[in-house]
Amino acid sequence: MPLYTDWTQRTSRGVVSYKGCSSAISYPPQVSYLIAPPGISIASYSHICRSYLCNNLTNVDPFWKIKATVPKTVPLSTHTCPTCVGRLEEECHPAFAANETCPYSASTCYSSTLKFEAGDLNSTFILMGCARQQHKLLADFQHVGSIQVTETLNNMDKSQSTGGSSALSCHSSFGGLVLGLLLALSE
C-alpha cells in the first residue's frame, strides 16, 4: 500500500504511515518516542503480524496515550522558530511557515528534509520547529519499523527567526504485514 500522509497546509503536526509486506519476524505493536518533547517530538508505531487484518490500527490513539505521559505545561522562551510538517513544496517554505514560541529547554530552530523509503514508499517532507539543538534528530534511527529514514539538515540562515487502512494481501508465504507510522508534533 502506498504512503498515507495526514497534514494540512502550514501545520505543526503530521502523520506519515506505510502499510506493506515484510519478511521480518512478527512482533506486537510498539509505540515509543524517538524524540520526546519539549520542542519537536517524533513518535513511532510499528507492528508486524501474519494473519488477515491483524494490523488494524484505525486511529492515532496510541500516540495520544504516549503523549499523555509528557508534562502539559512547559516554560517558554522569548525565541520563535518557523514550525511546520509538510511535503517538500511551498507549504513548508520558511517564508510561509507559522512562527511559534519555543520552549525554554528547546529554543534552537531546527529544519530538516526527511526521506522515507520502503517498498513502493518514496516520500520526502520538511520538518521545522524548536529543538534542543540543530543536529540530526533521527541520527540514531536509520529505520523506523521497516521504513528507511534519511535526514538532511537544512540551512538555518534563511529559516531561523529572530526575536524572542484498506486490506492488503502478501503473496509470499514468508511475507508479513507491516505498518510503520510516524507522528511528528511540535509542542
How many other CB atoms are there within 10 angstroms of residue 185's CB atom?
A: 21
Domain hosting residue 80, numbered range: 4-68+75-186
- The verdict on whether omega for the bond into residue 38 sits within 30 degrees of 0, i.e. cis, is yes
Whether pLDDT at 117 is above 80: yes
Phi, psi angles (nearest 5°) of residue 67? -65, -30
| Residue of higher predicted confidence among 91 and 3 | 91
Question: Can you give the length of the chain in residues?
Answer: 187
| Residue of higher predicted confidence among 34 and 136 | 136
Cα separation of 171 and 119, whole Å? Answer: 14
Q: Closest Cα partner for 91 from 78, 102, 82, 100?
A: 82
| 142 SS3 class | coil
Residue type, 151: E
Whether pLDDT at 9 is above 90: no
Query: Which pLDDT score is estimated for 139?
Result: 85
For residue 37, what pLDDT band results from cuts at 50, 70 and 90? Answer: confident
- The DSSP code for 74 is -
pTM for the whole structure: 0.69
Query: Which pLDDT score is estimated for 138?
Result: 85
Cα separation of 102 and 164, whole Å? Answer: 9
| Number of folded domains that form the chain | 1
Alpha-helical (H) ranges within the chain are 61-67
